[in-house]
């Protein structure tokens, strides 16, 4: 037995809640995708604590952030960094540990892993190698924002972060304007005013909810039409913290003439035909077969033009 394995075997696999120490049940080998709180440390599930305590290692974006959670709950599991800057180097090591039968927990700094982070590559390769991958669901800033925005939730489109450069951002907003669903975006405080101005120009006076610091001490949900929100954030509004923007879908009459070709061309420019079809089908609710046929035609036209 290696020194590392010996240490892992002797380590206490416990967690503490309300002063009581609890022994975590044993885990089968594999990769565990564990949701962590988005702010309030109490927004963690008992199952997440069990998995984090019983794992051989926790792969995390920032060890300093995850250590606050593990120390709060008395968890002694070693932390190993896994983020966009070291993923190519760290991923083979994690896959090697999985191949040896270890139990690895994957977490993000906050919320559910794989939402705007590099974890999907690790999951993809773990599955391709035949390792078990298990979801341990919990907090998500996307769902938390939708739950308090008072906007339609029967269909929503998660965009993540808009491009930081204005020209690219305006182009992407023009594409999003055609999506017949509530939009959910992430944004940083320093870019909030500029992003809102472009959103108002591209989407008009749709109602939006700006959710800041959800579940934290200074939680704020500001709901208004986009032009009024632009004026608010052009002033001295508080822009510290994490932001989720939820924007109402277009009026029904605005979705009658969806430019499918434009959506497909934009998607095909950055991804495969299969993924482009999936993206446009999800966004428009149109027949996958019809969208796929049109995507093939457009891809062929683009190929002929290049020739």
Same domain, 152 and 268: no
pLDDT band at 280 (very low <50, low <70, confident <90, very high): confident
Same domain, 244 and 299: no
Q: Is the pLDDT of residue 35 over 50?
A: yes
pLDDT for the residue 155: 93
Does residue 3 lie in a domain region?
no
Name residues whose C-beta falls within 8 Å of residue 135's C-beta, 6 or more positions apart in sequence: 33
Same domain, 194 and 96: no
Does residue 1 lie in a domain region?
no
Number of domains comprising the chain:
3
* SS3 category, 137: coil
Q: What is the DSSP letter of 76?
A: -
**In angstroms, rounded to a whole number, what is the distance separating the alpha carbons of residues 161 and 155?**
19
Q: What is the CATH number of the domain that holds 218?
A: 3.30.950.10
Does residue 296 lie in a domain region?
yes
Does residue 6 lie in a domain region?
no
Same domain, 234 and 273: no
Same domain, 159 and 270: no
- End residue of a domain, out of 78, 109, 139: 139
- Contact indicator for 61, 20 with CB cutoff of 8 Å: no
pLDDT for the residue 299: 86
Same domain, 133 and 53: yes
Mean pLDDT over the full length of the chain: 89
Same domain, 42 and 151: no
Q: pLDDT tens, 189-247?
A: 999 999 999 999 999 999 999 999 999 999 999 999 999 999 999 888 888 888 999 99
Same domain, 211 and 102: no
pLDDT band at 277 (very low <50, low <70, confident <90, very high): confident
Domain coverage including residue 158: 142-254
pLDDT band at 306 (very low <50, low <70, confident <90, very high): low
Determine the angle formed by the axes of helices 260-268 and 166-176, rounding to 10 degrees: 140
Q: pLDDT tens, 131-190?
A: 999 999 999 999 999 999 999 999 999 999 999 999 999 999 999 998 989 999 999 999
Q: What is the CATH number of the domain that holds 71?
A: 3.40.1010.10
- End residue of a domain, out of 114, 139, 164: 139
Same domain, 185 and 300: no
pLDDT for the residue 304: 61
Taking phi over 0 as left and psi of -120 to 50 as alpha, with beta for the rest, 74 belongs to left
Q: Is the pLDDT of residue 6 over 50?
A: no
Same domain, 239 and 158: yes
Does residue 2 lie in a domain region?
no
Q: What is the mean pLDDT of residues 59-70?
A: 96
Q: Is the pLDDT of residue 7 over 60?
A: no
- End residue of a domain, out of 139, 155, 180: 139
Does residue 4 lie in a domain region?
no
Q: What percent of the chain has pLDDT over 90?
A: 68
Does residue 292 lie in a domain region?
yes
The DSSP string of 102-134 is -EEEE--SSBSTTSSSTHHHHHHHHHHTT--EE
Q: What is the mean pLDDT of residues 82-88?
A: 91
Does residue 297 lie in a domain region?
yes
Name residues whose C-beta falls within 8 Å of residue 180's C-beta, 6 or more positions apart in sequence: 155, 249, 250, 255, 258, 283, 284, 285
Q: How far apart, in Å, are the Cα atoms of 250 and each of 179, 208, 211?
A: 8, 12, 20
Same domain, 186 and 209: yes
Same domain, 151 and 115: no
């Amino acid at each position: 037995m290696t020194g590392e394995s010996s240490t892992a075997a002797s380590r206490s696999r416990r967690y503490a809640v309300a002063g009581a120490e609890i022994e975590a049940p044993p885990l089968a080998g594999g990769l565990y995708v564990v949701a962590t709180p988005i702010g309030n440390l109490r927004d963690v599930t008992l199952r997440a604590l069990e998995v984090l305590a019983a794992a051989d290692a926790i792969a995390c974006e920032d060890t300093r952030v995850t250590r606050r959670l593990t120390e709060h709950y008395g968890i002694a599991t070693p932390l190993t960094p896994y983020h966009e800057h070291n993923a190519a180097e760290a991923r083979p090591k994690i896959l090697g540990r999985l191949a040896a039968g270890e139990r690895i927990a994957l977490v993000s700094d906050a919320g559910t892993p794989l939402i705007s982070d590099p974890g999907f590559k690790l999951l993809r390769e773990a599955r391709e190698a035949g390792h078990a991958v298990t979801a341990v669901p919990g907090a998500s800033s996307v769902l938390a924002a939708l739950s308090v925005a008072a906007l339609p939730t029967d269909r929503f489109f998660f965009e993540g972060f808009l491009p930081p450069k204005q020209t690219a951002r305006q182009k992407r907003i023009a594409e999003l304007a055609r999506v017949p669903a509530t939009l959910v975006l992430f944004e940083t405080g320093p870019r909030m005013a500029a992003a809102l101005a472009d959103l108002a120009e591209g989407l008009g006076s749709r109602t939006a909810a700006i959710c800041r610091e959800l579940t934290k001490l200074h939680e704020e949900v500001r709901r208004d039409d986009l032009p009024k929100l632009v004026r608010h954030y052009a002033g001295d509004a508080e822009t510290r913290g994490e932001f989720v923007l939820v924007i109402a879908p277009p009026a029904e009459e605005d979705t009658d003439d969806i430019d499918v070709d434009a959506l497909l061309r934009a998607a095909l420019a950055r991804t495969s035909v299969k993924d482009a079809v999936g993206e446009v089908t999800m966004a428009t609710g149109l027949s996958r077969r019809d969208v796929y046929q049109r995507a093939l035609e457009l891809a062929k036209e683009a190929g002929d033009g290049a020739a």
